[in-house]
Structure 1
Amino acid sequence: MAGKKDRLLFCATSLAALFAPAGAMAQEAADPPSQADIVVTAQRRAQNVVDVPLTVNVLSGSELTKRNITSLQDIADNVPGLDVFSQGGGKQLIQIRGINSLRGTSSLVGIYLDETPLTGSQDGFYPVYADAGALDLARVEVLKGPQGTLFGEGAMSGVIRYVTNDPKLDRIGGTVDYSLFATDGGRASAQVKAALNLPLSDTLAVRFAGEYQNNGGWLDNAGTGARNVNSNQIYDGRVKLLWQPDSRLRVVGMVDIRHNDEDSPSYANILPYEKGLYRHAIDPHGRTSGVSELDLYSLRVEYDLGFAELMSNTAHSRRYSNSNLDQIYYATNDPAAPIVLEIANTRYLNKQSITSQELRLTSKGDGPFKWVLGGIYKDDDLLRHFLDGAELLYPPSTTVTILQEPIRTTSKSWAVYGDASYSPFRRLEIGGGLRYSHDDRSFTDGTLPTASGTFSRVTYRAFVKYDVARDANLYFNVGNGFRSGGFNAVVNPAFPPPLTYAPERSMAYEAGFKASLLDGKLGVNIAAFQQYYRGQVYDRVVLTPVFLQYTANGGNTRIRGVEWQLTASPVRALRLSASGTVMGSVFVASTPEAEVDFPPGTSPLALPKYSIQLGANYAFRWAASVPGYLDIDFNHKDELVGGQGVTRIVTGPQSFLGASLGATVEGLDIAIFARNLLNEHSPYYPTLGGIGAVPRPRQIGIRLGKSF
């Protein structure tokens, strides 16, 4: 049963929805937009997605609402080649086409909220990507492959862009959305979202958006007998102010505050996996609660110069997380084998601030020559700290307490970039770009001397696109990316690890075909890709003469694959979709140390060999004035193999099935939905530790929504 707070929230939200100003009488469900109608800004200019010469997956705001998508984990279930392994509270590992940031001190996937970068330096030990949520979004864009030219360092495997709704000057409007759902074997959950657009004058408008989630837990603590320990509450509020004194100038200011309070992370035992039971390593009564916060302030100015548009984006973000870490390591994947290493429950702090300033000039017009010029400066400061120290057992009969000093990583980086394309005749377009990135990075480990270094690189891309017909084209692109190097903590000066590790690089080739055919009734997006991941960093563990754990460059990996996305509307009311990937990776070169950890023929990347997503949406009428819809989606991923050396851990395969059945009654949207109908519960990601993130079990609920 939902708590008293949930019931009060349900009543208040339902009343607000019922008495909100009603819109026009509901009409027949509109046709979903074809690829030729979907506009994205993946190349820093507005384009139809079918015209962009690279793989871009898009989820519209209406799709996010209809499928009850509230997190990046949910988004990944609908995007081929994107994998997210979330433990809650901002602790999530993001992977695009097999490349993720499990190790290294900066991101490999760029995350943007509008024009503001949310990624930069990160903990090389504990992934803590910012959780941006899915509040009041116009769309989400997922850009595959290296985006080193337009998005720079830290976007080596791709970019995820959250595009929020801007205020509008011409009307009052808004939405209210409430959902209540039960979780198999867990507590009930309630979520509410609302947005309100208010014109204040002919030149000034404001948009408010807010969200509250009370997500009931479903995991049990086997050490204490406590049930449903991983509940969490999310509070998210956003205010956007638009000032547009004339047709040439637009100024948009935004404040976004998102907080996540959790009772316990959403992970469970992997070795052995016990149906969601979680066991503490040493102290069964240790703390499990945590908090994750993201505060963002930005000011975007756009000015029309006639021949080009000038954009300035000034932003500051603060990310804070304070969570509890508990791990169990095993010598092999045999659960009967003795534990080699345990790390006791400790409070783990991450505190980061990023200030950025970007200027960009984008050409206007439909002429044959198009270009983009820009530059960005970013000041990034990250502090991480084991507040209570750590307790290690090696061998199992020995206990040693380690108190760790705060570790600070700073990065002051800047970059200049340019991108251009030219069409010598109507069907052919050729283009490319260059970017120079410069990163001054420092690393301070407690009272030890500060290590510092400069990492710089020129990245590029080139492409050719040929229109074989209207809204149908073939393209080929090549591009590279990089991630800055970093530094290792010197825990034991008598046996120090290598002080630094080198930057990682990637080179990718992609050939594809995009088309919107039969007046938009058929959409095709197929791409074949090959990517070389050079100097990949990974976690080295040396047991003798002392225990030593550090980050090192392992070698080079080749990734090959095919990705597709097909949509079809055989009749006006029915839309079918199918997408997926087939991928493989292998070490093509490595260091002698890496060959010990990853024997020949293996790969350090844990990526599914294949994945497939199927969807169907059918619009119909319950009655003459009551339109309805049925939405079904299915997602299957092959097993993941991880670990290193003699320890190889396998998770999956995984299958997820969801459905939603809805109706619109006098302007009120009512839907019954279900997620994870197959009750998949195996861990998302293989890890050497004895714990891993697991999905929420089967959920069945109801959603009420009102637009006005």
Structure 2
Amino acid sequence: MSAHIREHRDKGPKQEEQSMNEKTFCSTKHTITYNISRRLRRKLFACTAMIATAGGLTTVHGQEAEDSTLMLEEITVTASKRSQSVQEAGLSVTAIGSVELERMGADNFTDFAVRVPNLGFGAESDGRFSANSPAIRGIFGDGTTGFYIDDTPIPASIQPRVIDLSRIEVLRGPQGSLYGARSMGGTIRLITKQPSLDETEGNVHAKLSTVKEGDLNWALDGTVNIPLAPEKFAARITAYYGENSGIYDEHYLPTWTEGDAGDGVTVHENIGPAFETKENIDDETYRGFQIIGLAQVTDNLTFTPKFMYQKTDADGLPFADYEASNTDRYRFYDIDEPGYEEWWLASGTVNWEFDKGTIVSTTSYFDRYLDETEEMTSFLHWLFNNAIVPIDPLYSDISQSEDFTSFAHETRYTSSFDGPFQFTLGVFYQKNKYTRFYPNSYMVGMNDALGFEISPDDLIYYARNIFNTEEYAAFGEATMDFNDWLSVTAGGRLYETKTYAENDADGFANGGPSYSEGNQSENGFNPKVLVQADVSEDVNVYASASKGYRIGGINGNLSDALCGDELAALGITSQDARTFNSDSLWSYEAGVKSKLADNRLSVNAAGYIIKWNDIQQLNRLACGFQYVGNAGKAESTGFELEASALLAEGLTMSFAVGYTDAKITDAAGAVGVSVGDKIQGVPNWTVSSTGEYIFPVGGGYDGLLRYDFNYYGRSFSSNNETSAATQRLRPSWTALNLRAGVMTEEWEVTLFVDNVTDERANLADSRSLAAETPGRQRLVTNRPRTIGLEARARF
């Protein structure tokens, strides 16, 4: 391995921060520099050309001399638990820096996800807030993608606001050795900005926009860094508040038609009270803050406490009926569908540096609570009208709450020896408690309408599901540089997991009362091998083989009263389907990373083959219930290509493309699954491109012109189907965002148009809290065309 690579490896976190501050002009209040001299203007051009899709590259001032050349510079990442540049990392990784996130106007997960090759997303779980399901390289499903804020693992479904981040790292491929369970497809890391001990600075940002089909959106956020005790303690405080206009309108449905009327058509008047059309019923409000401290305890010991909080209140569900472009809904009753999510994260990190290495120890506690309500009249009316006895639509709704807490601890030692051998060793512990609760849901008047009692007190559904999980692990990686150009890394993770579950349910939809409980435990080892070689000063190649896994578990309620005969036909009982084991995969990857044309051009590429075994298949039963079981095999093959170019002073462009072919190769008797079925939620192609031009406009001002384009290929969904053979096609879609602005060193004002062509994308079909009403799917969509203005001031 070359000397410059070893130099990066030898740096501890404090050295890394100092090095980055010295060489990266694009930091804190100096993110943008504009006038006074040509030399400063060159630094401006350098800072603003952030190229995220090729690993977060940015243009920088190469020399102080007037004839210096501009070049692409790489963001330093900590994907391998030690500092190294994106070009040096022996894996396919995309890093998006803070300036780039600001320039693209990223507010949430979807905004940056479309920029990352082979990163898919959908809605795997019920409702809205816990439904987001990222998938990397075709490995789709609950718990397949790791999600971290700094060193703390959190649920992948969470969607924190993208505010005051240093960078986002997306690691493609299994991260089973360093990140463990739930990272079998890859890992997404949000890295927060850290306090500065010697500088008071901050910024304020405001955004105002209007969305087609809706009204005004607005947001305000601000950050301040305060050295409370110079060189000893500092705090970085961020707060934000915003509102997004709804786009869906709800109308009264005055009639209904009997489903068993034979050749004739019998139309009935709706007995529900008429209501006026309600506009923009899916308005939402969000707010939050984060406080990060930094204490310099001794010259080589720091402590970083952190507290983050976010709450979102939604007036209604942001789902489209029938097709993605439809913003009208028709309902029998005026039933609100509100929801809210609230979470907080507290953590403390100790960083202790020695001459020969660094100890990093992080302890964290995460708490999340959400509550959602959905109208159930439509589904129940269809059920009675078509499968039981036609009766009038009766008022009914269903609610679900989720309470998730997690305690996690990790301590690791990362060496910084003088010789060719380096290693990382660590231990990890996590304890999760998860409760999903459905309070009593009624269909008042059901028994009277039927003329007999089908469920006591008209009870439709009640359930309480409790899942507790513990994970213990020891992990490590060691690297040997055999000479100036060749290195080999080997490592692995030894783990043990324990799960306990308890399920209690009742009601008409459950076939009466039921109760179950169970335990499940496993242990194993995930190895990894990586070979890297410097083909030349500007070209590096690597190849790796690594194993990833996903923790096993226990299924929720499975009603014997409703599903017993169907399970018997499959040759199993509800007890047989009570638990499921971990599934695992082997990934084989090879890649090349290059810096060309005097580092004005960067081209990175990787190809992979993934073999997935004992897949945790979701078996959907005709009785309306489902369970997870281990069955079959799958294969995912594909590639990523990312390129960035500095075409002229101030003018940069980037291009990224990913391709994934993920399909079942062995069904092994899984319900509704056949060989050749596509893995759901996985786009075949992901393409993105960005162009940015910053130029002087006179009077000490500079102008900005930028575009962001993405293409998201077709994918399939079987969320609400009993067979993968009837998976629903989600068509490909494109989006174009445009931005133009004026800037000085202290402020910037930008006009933007997001989704210029007003493309309405089908991102997923929602897994309803009750069940999907046949013939009326509810779709998760993107936002319509949005036009707005944003301003940012720094001090």
Report deviation, 1:345: 3.3
Please list, as runs of the form range in 1=range in 2, the aligned pairs for 1:390-539 lying within 5 A after superposition.
Answer: 401-446=459-504, 448-494=515-561, 495=564, 497=574, 498-539=577-618
CA distance in 2, matches of 1:255, 1:340: 53
1:469 Cα deviation after fit:
1.7
Equivalent runs, 1:122-133 vs 2, <5 Å: 129-133=157-161
Paired residues of 2:140 and 2:681 also in contact (CA < 8 A):
no
Check 1:329–1:49 CA distance in 2 against 1; reply closer, same or farther (3 A cut): farther
Amino acid corresponding to residue 199 of structure 2 in structure 1: R
Q: In the alignment, residue 183 of structure 2 is paired with which amino acid?
A: A
- The match for 2:304 among 247, 252, 261 is 252
Matched, 1:299 2:385: no
Q: How far off its partner does 1:386 sit?
A: 1.1
2-structure distance, mates of 1:423, 1:118 = 35
**Map of 1:169 onto structure 2:** 197
Name the stretch that deviates more: 583-592 or 47-56: 583-592
Specify every segment of 5 or more residues in structure 2 that has no aligned partner in the other structure, as ranges. 1-28, 50-57, 60-71, 253-274, 380-384, 505-513, 565-572
- Equivalence for 1:68: 105
How far did 1:279 drift? 5.0
Counterpart in 2 of 1:700? 787
Q: Is this contact kept in 1: 2:520–2:579, CA < 8 A? A: no
CA contact (8 A) 1:267 1:278 kept: no
Provide the secondary structure at the position in 2 that maps to 1:63. helix
Q: 1:32-47 residue pairs with structure 2 within 5 A? A: 32=49, 33=58, 36-47=73-84
Contact 1:445 1:490 in 2 (8 A): yes
Distance 1:339 1:693, change over 3 A: farther
Name the structure 2 match of 1:275.
Answer: 326
Partner secondary structure for residue 569 of structure 1: strand
CA, structure 1 residues 430+287, in 2 after alignment: closer, same or farther (shift >3 Å)? same
2:415–2:424 CA contact under 8 A, matched in 1: yes
| RMSD after superposition | 2.8
1:467-525 deviations in Å (ceiling 9; x for gaps): 11224211111111111212223442452531112211111111111112223211111
In structure 1, what is the Cα distance between the partners aligned to 2:288 and 2:85?
31
Distance 1:274 1:671, change over 3 A: closer
- 1:669 aligns to what? 748
Of the three residues 647, 671, 684, the one matched with 1:609 is 684
**Contact 1:355 1:378 (C-alpha < 8 Å) held by counterparts:** yes
Q: What is the CA distance between 1:410 and its match in structure 2?
A: 0.2
Superposed, 1:678-689 pairs within 5 Å as 678-686=757-765, 689=772
Deviations along 1:271-292, one digit per CA (max 9) or x if unpaired, are: x556233455xx6422311011
Give the AA of the match of 1:428: L
Deviations 1:156-183 (A, max 9, x none): 1111111001110111101111111110
Partner of 2:139: 99
Q: In the alignment, residue 214 of structure 1 is paired with which amino acid?
A: E
Separation of aligned partners in 2, 1:69 and 1:637? 17
Asked if 1:110 is matched to 2:187, the reply is: no
Identity across the alignment (%): 22
| Contact 1:50–1:471, Cα closer than 8 Å, also in 2 | no
Cα separation, partners in 2 of 1:406 and 1:369, compared to 1, 3 Å: same
Corresponding residue number in structure 2 for 1:124? none
Amino acid of the structure 2 residue aligned with 1:164: T
Query: Does structure 2 retain, via aligned residues, the 8 Å contact 1:130–1:319?
Result: no
Q: Does 1:197 align with 2:274?
A: no
Give 2:401's aligned residue.
349
Structure 1 pair 94/554, CA: closer, same or farther in 2 (3 Å)? same
- After TM superposition, give the deviation of residue 227 of structure 1 in Å: 1.6
Greater shift, 300-309 or 360-369, is seen at 360-369
Aligned to 2:639: 562
Structure 2: how far apart are the matches of 1:153 and 1:657? 36
The letter of the residue matching 1:30 is F
1:471–1:45: structure 2 CA closer, same or farther, 3 Å change rule? Answer: farther
- Higher radius of gyration, 1 or 2: 2
Deviation at residue 22 of structure 1 after TM alignment: 13
| Distance apart, 1:547 and its partner CA | 4.7
Counterpart of 1:157?
Answer: 185
- For residues 269 and 339 of structure 1, what CA distance do their matches in structure 2 show? 22
- Quick one: distance in 1 between partners of 2:706 and 2:736? 11
TM (norm. structure 2) is 0.79
- The answer to whether the 8 A contact 1:374-1:417 is kept is yes
The whole-number CA distance in structure 1 between the counterparts of 2:442 and 2:638 is 41
Is 1:242 the counterpart of 2:290 in the alignment? no
Contact 2:129 2:158 in 1 (8 A): no
Q: Partners in 1 of 2:159 and 2:669 — Cα distance?
A: 38
CA distance in 1, matches of 2:130, 2:298: 40
SS in 1 for 2:246: coil
Whole-angstrom distance in 2 between the partners of 1:66 and 1:547:
46
| CA distance in 1: counterparts of 2:74 and 2:524, whole angstroms | 37
Is 1:324 matched with 2:373? Answer: yes
Give the counterpart letter for 2:715 in structure 1: L
Name 1:630's counterpart in structure 2.
705
1:131 touches 1:294 (CA, 8 Å); kept in 2? no
Corresponding residue of 1:592:
669
Per the TM alignment, residue 99 of structure 1 is displaced from its structure 2 partner at its CA by 2.1
Using the alignment, how far apart are the partners of 2:361 and 2:694 within structure 1? Answer: 42
**Cα 1:481/1:339, change in 2 over 3 Å:** farther
Is the 1:22–1:667 Cα contact (8 Å) retained in structure 2? no
Contact map agreement 1:539 1:550 (CA 8 A) in 2: yes
Q: In structure 2, how many angstroms separate the alpha carbons of the residues matched to 1:74 and 1:144?
A: 18
| Larger relative strand fraction | 1
* Corresponding letter in the other structure for 1:583: T
* Conservation of the 8 A alpha-carbon contact between 1:475 and 1:512: yes
Aligned CA distance change for structure 1 residues 581 and 338 (closer, same or farther; 3 Å):
farther
Q: In 1, distance between residues paired with 2:676 and 2:122?
A: 26
The answer to whether the 8 Å contact 1:369/1:422 transfers is yes
- Give the CA deviation at 1:216: 1.0
How far off its partner does 1:36 sit?
Answer: 5.0
In structure 2, relative to structure 1, the CA distance for the partners of 1:227 and 1:506 (3 Å cut) is same
Structure 1: runs of 5 or more not aligned: 1-19, 120-127, 331-336
What residue in structure 1 maps to residue 739 of structure 2? 660
Partner SS state of residue 64, structure 1: helix
Shift of 1:328: 10
